[in-house]
Amino acid sequence: MSAPLDPHGKRVVLAHGGGGQLTETLLRETVMPRLGNPLLDPMDDSALLPTDGPVAFTTDSYVVQPLEFPGGNIGKLAVCGTVNDLAVCGARPSWLSLGLILEEGLDLEVLRRVLDSVAATAEEAGVRIVTGDTKVVARGQADGLYINTAGVGALRAGLELGAARCRPGDALLINGTIADHGMAVMLQREGGSQIESDLASDVAPLGGLIGDLLEQVPQTRFLRDATRGGLAGVVADLAAGSGFHVTLDQESIPVRAATQYAAEMLGFDPLNVANEGKVVAVVPAEHEQRALDVLRGHAYGREAAVIGHVGEVRDGLCDLFTYVGGRRIVQKPYGEDLPRIC
């Protein structure tokens, strides 16, 4: 006899995280049918992974509000974020852990949708969830649902990636429009009532795109996913890490008109706004065109563009050649980028 999830079977209750029958029911009925695979199915205390050679290992926690937003949800985000962190290090993402922290009262339908997304995104990214954990905290002690994912992937041989490898003349590329994730989430959070928009998050697993790039342009010098801190955060780090001056050309940075509009309305600079499906790549000048072709040949890179170059001046700064021909410094944003008020 299976224990009832709650009187109506609709919501998470504390006992779902208690490690007893109800936990087992939740795993058996909700989690395993979606995520089961030979490495997870034994449900032992650890997953046993067949590795050979050096691996990359990363972890990230996801606390996005709202849990569901145009273009994705916290589940898709949790898989993509960790997959992308592995991929930009030159690893082939393979295995993920999934830690769920549920708030008492969470609608089980929401949890099912989130887990559906985890499963679909993992499938697309070619990764498996191989170990996991579920905890429930009392109402008010969390905000619906938090997720932690860790990931492991085998490192590709023969790569050397890092800002310090960048040289004058190198080209900066990005695989598409910036700021879509941050603005889509912001608009959803603001109720979306004041600004009508069809903006959607760009959240996407980039393992395939990055894999293609590294295979066809192994001379790639630097890769970084432009998440929190946006494109500005990445290029400021790149400039500082390389020691050279980096110039971005504002005209060539892809921004959707709706995203630009939303950013202006809410007082954000798109350069500082988070992405969840964008990678900045630096390649030597002679490989610029090939890298661009590779990115554009991929579903997540159709709008890829060369957005700037590494210069010769050794000042470790990044500046933006603006759309009207002015110049100004690009810096890493400071913490929370606060909305303007007038």
Where along the sequence are the contacts to another protein (CB under 8 A)? 190, 194, 251, 266-267, 269, 315, 317, 319-320, 322-329, 331, 334-342
Radius of gyration of the chain (CA): 21
Q: Is the dihedral of CA 224, 209, 298, 202 positive or negative?
A: negative
**Do the Cβ atoms of 27 and 105 come closer than 8 Å?**
no
Least Cβ distance, residue 259 to another protein (angstroms)? 16
The residue among 12, 1, 210 whose CA lies nearest residue 115 is 12
Q: Quote the CA–CA distance of 242 and 314 in Å, as a whole number.
A: 9
Least Cβ distance, residue 255 to another protein (angstroms)? 13
Least Cβ distance, residue 329 to another protein (angstroms)? 5
How many C-beta atoms surround the C-beta of residue 58 within 10 A? 20
Cis peptide before 66 (omega within 30 of 0): yes
How many C-beta atoms surround the C-beta of residue 69 within 10 A? 24
Residue number with CB closer to another protein (192 or 241): 192
Least Cβ distance, residue 265 to another protein (angstroms)? 9
Residue number with CB closer to another protein (215 or 315): 315
Residue number with CB closer to another protein (48 or 324): 324
3-state secondary structure of 169: coil
The DSSP-derived string for 89-129 is TTEEEEEEEEEEEEETT-BHHHHHHHHHHHHHHHHHHT-EE
Least Cβ distance, residue 258 to another protein (angstroms)? 18
Residue number with CB closer to another protein (8 or 340): 340
The residue among 65, 63, 68 whose CA lies nearest residue 99 is 63
Least Cβ distance, residue 184 to another protein (angstroms)? 16
Residue number with CB closer to another protein (37 or 322): 322
Residue number with CB closer to another protein (10 or 328): 328
Q: Is the dihedral of CA 248, 252, 254, 257 positive or negative?
A: positive
